């Protein structure tokens, strides 16, 4: 093969791949493709300096990666507002047409997969980033290059972001699970999970074997002068991307509804799963004017398909104890096929839900499976009962350790720190940053220490020796010494950290500080009435605390002796806008939220975790979410991070010459 014939062969392979993976119209056999492919490989091995960057051989790397790096999107990837019925559709459409008159809406399938953002520079694919939190995702460029429906080069020289969904065809999903079953691996729950998991494989060869498909749905950063979204998408398809072949321009809610029902009928004929239809304003100018809410674009929405339901029989209920100690009832049902997936188990959520729906053993039930949602029982067919059905009893003892269970109705939890089902998680939480912050004691190390029998409960951490650690694989002298020192360093910790680290249900950082302020390290000797008298403590919190103390009294005493926690020294904050006020901090800030919380607490504020009518301020950053929405609903005053800084600065200026003897924090984070 000469250099000229090599280039010709590469172009031919690209045509074969495009016809097969993008057009779904093969123009050669697998055998002919393989012969030409291996001829190209042979030439490249002999002439490594002549390898073309867009050669099909360059799609798969040889060495697995160590990890995925974080990477920012050039422009934010937004989530969509969900619509579930005709009424919601009309409300959404009317909100737009009321201001802009007759506009066209671009409708397209909503594929059920993993979102991916492709960045092209000078026509070359330079980066592929998962959605992440919308602003920052993981760089999976090497894996994206293995996806044959993603062009390595495009005929466009400006920088551009092409957004889309990575999916797995239903047929390929079944094959993957068959292979995993044969090799004894856990099965993927659904194609979406399979796509997401395949996209994040550190070994690109595994990703390449999964036959992922990229379905474009939009454009991020660009310098295009094309004025309508529908025309922009046709332009994208012409670059070599796959076309979904079921898009439509509509002008009114009636037309959108009609096309929606057409797509619902066709959904089973798609090679991949759909979970709805996406509706977008077609005019880019109108999109720009509509803008965005805190979470969603105002010019786009997802019109979701109704979930799939099947009739089956409830055979048995088993109890699962999660790593946090929560006991969850799981229904075992007669196997039923839903969209090609055999369902044998269903969540029952909790025992309150069982009683509310009057679910009994032996009942005929309707089970629902929607997209990647765990199947659930939505209705009992009581007319089918014959008298043999049995009431499902609420458990009183943990099925793993037989300890008393905390029963709060919806929540039933084992709080025994030594319970085998929750011991690892309790130790991980104990050592976490928000608790005792034991440096070097991460999830994997806790699991390793537990699996080898060295740490069976939290107190065992404090009896670890250098000899024991050095005997373990991966533990050298420095690592072992650092861990022993880090564990020893938490002795004499703040009282609130000690209580918070115990992992008591409903008792978080704020409640732990309240308990320490009121009772010091002897919090476990306080009476029900004394605890109830504390601000913010309700009946559920108190019962949870008292039940935890009953089950773990000896462990609390032992840990208190080992840690010797220190009760707080009471300080009085000087007068300021936040003193004695309840404040909630939410969203992404320019500094860690914990730092802002610490400042507020020094100012005498109570920092709460949820918004209520008693909340005085909500300080919010980007992606504030439901807490922001709740504050708006309740009329709670909102402060941006900048406004909070301004308040802080104003307060600092006005008190800098007259601080008195009260606490006045110096806020270097904002200087």
Tell whether 156 and 17 lie within a shared domain: no
CA-based torsion, 630, 632, 635, 641: positive or negative: positive
Q: Which residues are catalytic?
A: 110
Whether 416 is covered by a domain: the verdict is: no
Percentage, residues of the chain above pLDDT 90: 41
Q: How many CB atoms lie within 10 A of CB 367?
A: 24
Pair 58, 152: CB distance under 8 Å: yes
Domain boundary among 247, 275, 304: 304
The answer on pLDDT for 25 being more than 80 is: no
**How high is the pLDDT of residue 165?**
95
d(Cα 357, Cα 225) in Å, to the nearest integer? 56
- C-alpha closest to that of 60 among 255, 212, 251: 212
Whether 402 is covered by a domain: the verdict is: no
Task: Please tell me whether residue 591 adopts helix, strand or coil conformation.
Answer: coil
Which range is least confidently modeled, 219-223, 491-495, 637-641, 661-665? Answer: 661-665
Give 470-496 pLDDT, tens digit per residue.
Answer: 998 888 999 999 999 999 999 999 999
Q: Cα-atom radius of gyration of the chain, to the nearest Å? A: 30
Residues composing the chain: 671
The answer on pLDDT for 347 being more than 80 is: yes
Domain boundary among 258, 286, 304: 304
Q: How many CB atoms lie within 10 A of CB 288?
A: 10
Whether 407 is covered by a domain: the verdict is: no
CATH of the domain at 494: 1.10.150.20
Task: Please tell me whether residue 186 adopts helix, strand or coil conformation.
Answer: coil
- Would you list the DSSP string of 106-138? EEEEEE-SEEEEEEEETTEEEEEEE-TTSSEEE
Which of the listed ranges 106-115, 304-313, 377-386, 581-590 does the model predict with the highest average pLDDT? Answer: 106-115
Give 430-445 pLDDT, tens digit per residue.
Answer: 999 889 999 989 888 9
**How high is the pLDDT of residue 307?**
65
Whether 144 is covered by a domain: the verdict is: yes
Q: Which tokens hold the place of 391?
A: 């009431």
Q: Which tokens hold the place of 82?
A: 């969900």
Please compute the mean of the pLDDT values over residues 456-478 and round it to a whole number.
Answer: 91
Tell whether 143 and 269 lie within a shared domain: yes
Pair 281, 95: CB distance under 8 Å: no
Q: How many CA atoms lie within 13 A of 175 on its CB side?
A: 9
**How high is the pLDDT of residue 650?**
66
Cα–Cα distances in angstroms (integers) from residue 569 to residues 78, 314, 494, 495, in the given order: 46, 57, 10, 10
Higher pLDDT, 494 or 663: 494
Paired sense of beta strands 105-111 and 274-281, if any: antiparallel
d(Cα 14, Cα 16) in Å, to the nearest integer? 5
Task: Please tell me whether residue 501 adopts helix, strand or coil conformation.
Answer: helix
The answer on pLDDT for 376 being more than 90 is: no
Tell whether 126 and 251 lie within a shared domain: yes
**How high is the pLDDT of residue 667?**
46
**How high is the pLDDT of residue 240?**
93
Pair 623, 134: CB distance under 8 Å: yes
The answer on pLDDT for 420 being more than 60 is: yes
Tell whether 542 and 450 lie within a shared domain: yes
Please compute the mean of the pLDDT values over residues 1-17 and round it to a whole number.
Answer: 88
Please compute the mean of the pLDDT values over residues 150-168 and round it to a whole number.
Answer: 95
* Angle at the Cα of 522 from the Cα atoms of 517 and 524, rounded to 5 degrees: 105
Tell whether 522 and 481 lie within a shared domain: yes
CATH of the domain at 14: 1.10.287.610
Whether 267 is covered by a domain: the verdict is: yes
Give 46-76 pLDDT, tens digit per residue.
Answer: 888 888 887 887 776 555 566 788 999 999 9
Pair 243, 164: CB distance under 8 Å: no
Tell whether 488 and 460 lie within a shared domain: yes
Tell whether 32 and 106 lie within a shared domain: no
**How high is the pLDDT of residue 220?**
95
Q: How many CB atoms lie within 10 A of CB 335?
A: 11
d(Cα 125, Cα 148) in Å, to the nearest integer? 13
Pair 362, 390: CB distance under 8 Å: yes
Paired sense of beta strands 341-347 and 327-338, if any: antiparallel
Tell whether 29 and 108 lie within a shared domain: no
Higher pLDDT, 421 or 304: 304
**How high is the pLDDT of residue 115?**
93
**How high is the pLDDT of residue 658?**
41
Percentage, residues of the chain above pLDDT 70: 91
Higher pLDDT, 350 or 65: 350
d(Cα 291, Cα 587) in Å, to the nearest integer? 20
CATH of the domain at 356: 2.40.50.140
Tell whether 93 and 108 lie within a shared domain: yes
Tell whether 160 and 299 lie within a shared domain: yes
Give 162-187 pLDDT, tens digit per residue.
Answer: 999 999 998 888 888 778 767 767 66
Q: Which tokens hold the place of 207?
A: 């990703």
The answer on pLDDT for 371 being more than 80 is: no
Tell whether 382 and 502 lie within a shared domain: no
Chain mean pLDDT for the chain: 86
- Tally of domains in the chain: 5
Whether 401 is covered by a domain: the verdict is: no
Pair 419, 398: CB distance under 8 Å: yes
**How high is the pLDDT of residue 24?**
57
Task: Please tell me whether residue 386 adopts helix, strand or coil conformation.
Answer: coil
CATH of the domain at 85: 3.30.470.30
Tell whether 33 and 50 lie within a shared domain: yes
CA dihedral 183, 188, 193, 199 (to 10 degrees): 10
Whether 412 is covered by a domain: the verdict is: no
Beta bridge partners of 586: 620
Whether 235 is covered by a domain: the verdict is: yes
User: Domain of 350?
Assistant: 308-391
Domain boundary among 348, 371, 391: 391
**How high is the pLDDT of residue 444?**
87
- Would you list the DSSP string of 68-119? PPEEE-SSPPPP-EEE-SHHHHHHHHHHHHHHH-S--EEEEEEE-SEEEEEE
């Amino acid at each position: 093969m000469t250099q000229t014939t090599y280039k010709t062969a590469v172009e031919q392979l690209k045509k074969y791949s495009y016809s097969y993976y993008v057009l779904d119209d093969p123009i050669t056999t697998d055998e002919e493709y393989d012969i030409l492919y291996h001829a190209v490989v042979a030439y490249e091995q002999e002439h490594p300096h002549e390898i073309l960057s867009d050669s099909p051989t360059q799609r798969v790397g040889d060495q697995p990666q160590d990890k995925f790096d974080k990477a920012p999107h050039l422009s934010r990837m937004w989530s969509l507002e969900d619509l579930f019925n005709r009424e919601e559709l009309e409300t959404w459409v009317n909100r737009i047409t009321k201001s802009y008159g007759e506009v066209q809406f671009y409708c397209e399938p909503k594929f059920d997969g993993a979102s991916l953002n492709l960045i092209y520079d000078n026509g070359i694919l330079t980066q592929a980033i998962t959605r992440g939190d919308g602003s920052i995702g993981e760089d999976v460029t090497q894996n994206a290059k293995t996806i044959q429906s993603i062009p390595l080069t495009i005929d466009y020289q400006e920088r551009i972001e092409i957004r889309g969904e990575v999916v797995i065809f239903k047929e390929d999903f079944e094959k993957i699970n068959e292979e995993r079953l044969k090799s004894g691996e856990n099965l993927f729950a659904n194609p979406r999970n399979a796509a997401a998991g395949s996209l994040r494989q550190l070994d690109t060869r595994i990703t390449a074997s999964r036959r992922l498909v990229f379905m474009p749905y939009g454009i991020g950063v660009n310098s295009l002068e094309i004025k309508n979204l529908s025309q922009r998408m046709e332009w994208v398809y012409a670059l070599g991307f796959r076309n979904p072949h079921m898009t439509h321009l509509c002008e009114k809610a009636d037309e959108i509804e009609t096309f929606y029902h057409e797509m619902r009928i066709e959904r089973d004929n798609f090679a991949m799963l759909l979970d709805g239809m996406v509706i977008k304003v077609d005019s880019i100018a109108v999109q720009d004017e509509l803008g965005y809410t805190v979470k969603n674009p105002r010019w786009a929405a997802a019109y979701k398909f109704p979930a799939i339901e099947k009739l089956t029989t409830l055979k048995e209920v088993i109890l699962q104890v999660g790593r946090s100690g929560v006991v969850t009832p799981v229904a075992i049902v007669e196997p039923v096929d839903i969209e090609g997936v055999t369902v044998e188990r269903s969540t029952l959520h909790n025992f309150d839900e069982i009683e509310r729906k009057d679910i009994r053993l032996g009942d005929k039930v309707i089970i629902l499976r929607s997209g990647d949602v765990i199947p659930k029982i939505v209705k009992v067919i009581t007319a089918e009962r014959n008298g043999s059905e049995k009431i499902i009893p609420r458990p009183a003892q943990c099925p793993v350790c037989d300890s008393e269970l905390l029963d709060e109705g919806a929540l039933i939890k084992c709080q025994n720190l030594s319970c085998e089902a929750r011991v690892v998680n309790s130790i991980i939480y104990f050592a976490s940053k928000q608790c005792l912050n034991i440096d070097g004691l991460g999830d994997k190390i806790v699991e390793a220490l537990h699996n080898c029998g060295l740490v069976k409960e939290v107190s065992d951490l404090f009896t670890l020796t250098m000899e024991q650690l050095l005997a373990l694989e991966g533990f050298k002298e420095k690592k072992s010494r650092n861990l022993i020192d880090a564990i020893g360093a938490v002795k004499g910790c703040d009282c609130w950290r000690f209580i918070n680290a115990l992992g008591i249900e409903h008792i978080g950082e704020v409640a732990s500080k309240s308990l320490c302020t009121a009772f010091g390290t002897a919090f476990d000797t306080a009476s029900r009435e004394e605890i109830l008298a504390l601000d913010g403590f309700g009946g559920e919190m108190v019962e949870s605390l008292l039940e935890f103390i009953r089950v773990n009294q000896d462990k609390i005493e032992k840990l208190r002796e080992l840690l010797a926690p220190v009760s707080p020294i009471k300080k009085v904050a000087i007068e300021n806008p936040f003193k004695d006020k309840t404040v909630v901090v939410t969203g992404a800030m320019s500094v860690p939220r914990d730092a802002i919380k610490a400042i507020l607490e020094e100012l005498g504020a109570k920092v709460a975790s949820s918004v209520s009518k008693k909340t005085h301020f909500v300080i919010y950053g980007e992606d504030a979410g439901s807490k922001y929405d709740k504050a708006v609903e309740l009329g709670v005053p909102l402060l941006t991070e900048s406004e909070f800084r301004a308040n802080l600065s104003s307060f600092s200026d006005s008190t800098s010459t007259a601080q008195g003897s009260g606490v006045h924090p110096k806020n270097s984070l904002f200087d």
